[in-house]
Each structure stands twice: as C-alpha cells, then as structure tokens.
Amino acid sequence: MSYVDGFVIAVPTANKQKFIDHASTFDPLFLEYGATRVVECWGDDVPAGKQTDFQRAVHATADETVVFSWVEWPDKATRDGAVKKMMEDPRMDPKENPMPFDGMRMIFGGFSPVLILGD
C-alpha cells in the first residue's frame, strides 16, 4: 500500500521563486531515495475559515502565501528508510540549501491512503 507525506508551510510571497529554486534542489532527493512523486502547490484559492484554516495552521501573515505539498511513496517502509538516509545526507544541510520560509511553522505528517481514485 502506498504512503503519503503531507506538508503545509507559509512562504513569504516575495520568495516564490526562491521557494521554487529550493524545491527544485531539495525535492529530487525524495525521488532519489524512493519516492514516486513530489508535488508542490502554491496557494491560489485558500479561504479564511470561521474556526480554523490553512493560514492559521501555519500562522501565515498577510505577506505570505500558503504552500501545500506532498510526497508519494510506494510504501511506509520505503519512506521510513528514505527519511533516515535523508537526515544523514549532507545535501540536506540548511547551510547548503537554506529554506526560504520559517520551517518552525511547517505542519507535516505521514498518511496511509484509504481511498484512491484516478491516477
């Protein structure tokens, strides 16, 4: 059964290209370590909620855009092995590829799909 890691972050809107450049450098590591797909989505229609919403979840400010991303893995075992390898990979060093956003406000988690429709 496949496995999915999901991420939500707030990126300064002015850093959109820096974010794309960062992801273009960082995301291939997921594929190298076994991911089958990586998707980065720039917020376009992210409405405010009455009780909670994406902006509040990551404490986004007026000058930030919410980004929703996910990584698809063939299974949890592949993902767990990849995470261990990535944490030991010197290319993950933030000095080499600094994040153009506040990583402390990132929310993330691993998920086991219960229904998949389409491709």
Which pLDDT value is given to residue 98? 86
Separation of CA 39 from chain center: 8
In 3D space, the residue among 41, 39, 43, 99 whose CA is nearest the CA of residue 66 turns out to be 43
pLDDT tens string 4-55? 999 999 999 999 999 999 999 999 999 999 999 999 999 999 999 999 999 9
pLDDT tier at 110, thresholds 50, 70, 90: very high
- Average pLDDT score over residue span 75-99: 91
Integer-rounded Cα Rg, in Å, for the chain is 15
Residues 26 and 38: their CA atoms lie apart, in Å, by: 11
CATH node for 3-111: 3.30.70.100
pLDDT of 119 > 80? The answer is no
Q: How far apart, in Å, are the Cα atoms of 24 and each of 6, 56, 78, 104?
A: 17, 27, 22, 21
pLDDT of 97 > 90? The answer is no
Q: Which residue has the higher pLDDT, 119 or 17?
A: 17
pTM of the complete model beyond 0.85 = yes
- Average pLDDT score over residue span 60-81: 98
Domain ranges of the chain: 3-111
